[in-house]
Amino acid sequence: MEPKRFGFTGKSLRINLTSGEIKVVDISDQFTDWLGGSGFAAKTLFEETFADLMPFEPANKIIFSAGALVGTLAPGANKMNISTIGPVTGGWATGSSDSYVGIELKNAGYDNVIVEGRSRFPCYLWVSDEKVEIRDASAYWGLDTWQFVDSIREDLGDPSLHAVVIGPAGENLVRGACVIQDKYRAFGRCGTGAVMGSKNMKALICKGKKPISIADKETFLKVVKRCREKILNSPRTENFRKYGTLSCIQPKQDMCAVPYKNFQEAIFPPALVEKIDPKKMVDKYQIARQSFPGCVIGCGRFLEITDGPYRGLVTQANQCEVVAGLIGKLAVEEPTFMFKVNSECNKRGLDVDFVAGTIAWAMECFQRGILTVEDTGGLSLQWGDEELILQLIDMITNRDGFGNLLAEGCKRASEILKRGSDRYCIHLKGQELYETLRGSNAWALGAITSTRGGGHTTGAVVYEQTGPKTEDEKKIALEKFAIENFDDPQEYKGKPELVYYFEVLHRVSNSLGICHFNTIWQDLEYMDIYDIADLLSSATGISFTVEKLREIAMRQLNIEKAINIKLANFSREDDMPDERELFEAIPSGNLAGWKFDLQKLNRMLDEYYELHGWDKGTSYPTRKVLQRYGLTHVADQLERIGKLGESTAEEE
């Protein structure tokens, strides 16, 4: 008789699309070291990939994970994780999304699904209480995500079905293709949708009825109540509930943290800010709110555009990245374009930051005469041209003409084009940069060291740009972090410690399935790592201290780092901003004239590596630190390829 497990199921589905083999593996012995979710995925990918693996090879794996708190009443525990070796950076690739499929996967009795191989025909995976099947998806290949969801629900006679699905961009191996939950939520960044496409896999659909058991229900419910009250009692919650991350645009404008015309400016023109005010747009067009199970905030909004060029569009509101990227980077002035372009990317299964960064690169190259109409097939790449942007999105999706170059992403495209075009490709580790780095040092440090490349959800400190503002908030932050000058974004001291704190919080949240916006990453009064330790301990019946969670998070970070070293050959030079962000001063706005002090930035990076026990010259983990986290086998592999960090005399 199987032992009863609480919170997590301890079971993994392994599916080989080449052979058709499906098996269930007991992974319960790995839970206390890796938690599941992105942590388990990182371990699996490091141990089961070889050094010269290419992302589109059948041997690559894509892992769908639902953490131990997903499907419970834990606040914000509605995130599913997808991880692989990605086609954008060539290394660690991971993304999370609000997901009904993750909850259904847990209810079907599995913590994750590991997929490898390549199907001989287009397929989708069906996972339920009764059976697991590789089903023919030939009839659905070529459909966009909205069409697929509508069609599969009608064909199977079940309007309650949910899917994580790729669109035509993933099928056509566009490197920035992403996976979409149903129609509106994306597993953003890293090109996970292209890896699914390379496997001829259209979708994963789960349907489960098994309950998720809680070990100590009384204590768990008390902790849930405490955490919910923290969120509900915060004065910032209502604003975030109404507008989601769109509420961040004005604070970011004040901080010179929104890119305009491919980062040529770090603020929007004041007239544009007033014209595109996303709060006004939501107030004007909202028809309903939307939330996912367990979320205390519920920041989703359904909209119907009732006027203007996109009249009749019914969709969900986008997040702030779309405003910063597909409005700001491309200098669009039509306010409703953000909703239109977000919907078109979701339908095609395209990452919005990939699209914005790549098209912005092309537009600046055209502006500077590096690209001409002879290169673009007759297209004049003018800033703010909405019709052109939508045309380019379609061309990227289908790898049509000039779109075939853009489908590679700006770094690869610039390497193909040459002509000095790499100067205008704004990226980190090969992935298009969303975030402006200048002027926010903890935000910048978290982004440049992010193992997945060009992201702010694995360590960047968001309240450098959005708070804290009041003296009470500053006092709370000082008590939590014990770091002076933490609220000065341009200060360099103490920032490695801040990033370390959020590297831990983010990895624990991603592994357990908790939305970052329900934690102190969003608001200092929300759930912190101590609350999460209490939730997890009472849910699973296994004691997890904060120290234990820190150890697990650092173990995961070190193996993510090792994946990048082994597969993508990343080193210290890849933990630096691009030339524009590094050397150019902010042109205008409240921080006009500010730029990085290169000496202080490098010292901050040194301190970051020292904090982690990594080699400052290369950024490589040392044997000592890897052994500390039980990763001797990782140290052995890195040593064999000559990429193990050297310990200092003090460490020895």
> What's the chain's average pLDDT?
95
285-297 pLDDT, tens per residue? 999 999 999 999 9
80-110 pLDDT, tens per residue? 999 999 999 999 999 999 999 999 999 999 9
586-614 pLDDT, tens per residue? 999 999 999 999 999 999 999 999 999 99
- Residue 84 region by backbone torsions, left for phi larger than 0, else alpha for psi between -120 and 50, else beta: beta
37-81 pLDDT, tens per residue? 999 999 999 999 999 999 999 999 999 999 999 999 999 999 999
Q: Rounded to whole angstroms, how far apart are CA atoms 76 and 509?
A: 10
Q: Rounded to whole angstroms, how far apart are CA atoms 11 and 389?
A: 45
Q: From residue 384, give the alpha-carbon distance in Å to each of 307, 352, 378.
A: 20, 16, 18
**Which residue, among 73, 127, 123, has the nearest Cα to 105 in the 3D structure?**
127
Q: From residue 239, give the alpha-carbon distance in Å to each of 2, 284, 335, 336.
A: 47, 16, 20, 21
CA angle centred on 322, ends 492 and 467, rounded to 5°: 35
pLDDT at position 248 over 60 = yes
Yes or no: say if 105 and 113 are a contact pair by the CB < 8 Å rule. Answer: yes
Annotate 244-278 with b (16+ C-beta within 10 A) or e (fewer). Answer: bbbbbbeebbebbbbbbbbbbbbbbeeebeeebbb
Yes or no: say if 440 and 489 are a contact pair by the CB < 8 Å rule. Answer: yes
Segment 240-250 shows an average pLDDT of: 90
| Residue 596 identity (one-letter amino acid) | F
Yes or no: say if 12 and 127 are a contact pair by the CB < 8 Å rule. Answer: no
- Give residue 185's pLDDT band: very low, low, confident or very high (50, 70, 90): very high
> Which residues make Cβ contacts (< 8 Å) with residue 519, sequence separation at least 6?
76, 505, 509, 526, 527, 528, 532
Which residues share a beta bridge with 135? Answer: 124
Cis peptide before 468 (omega within 30 of 0): yes
Yes or no: say if 496 and 613 are a contact pair by the CB < 8 Å rule. Answer: no
State the residue for tokens 């589905």: 13
User: Which of 293-302, 343-352, 392-401, 526-535 is predicted least confidently?
Assistant: 293-302
Question: Is 652 exposed, middle or buried, given 0-12, 13-18 or 19+ CB atoms closer than 10 A?
Answer: exposed
State the residue for tokens 């933490």: 486
Yes or no: say if 440 and 446 are a contact pair by the CB < 8 Å rule. Answer: no
Q: pTM of the entire structure?
A: 0.97
Segment 6-19 shows an average pLDDT of: 97
- CA 263 centroid distance within chain: 21
Task: For the chain, state the CA radius of gyration.
Answer: 23
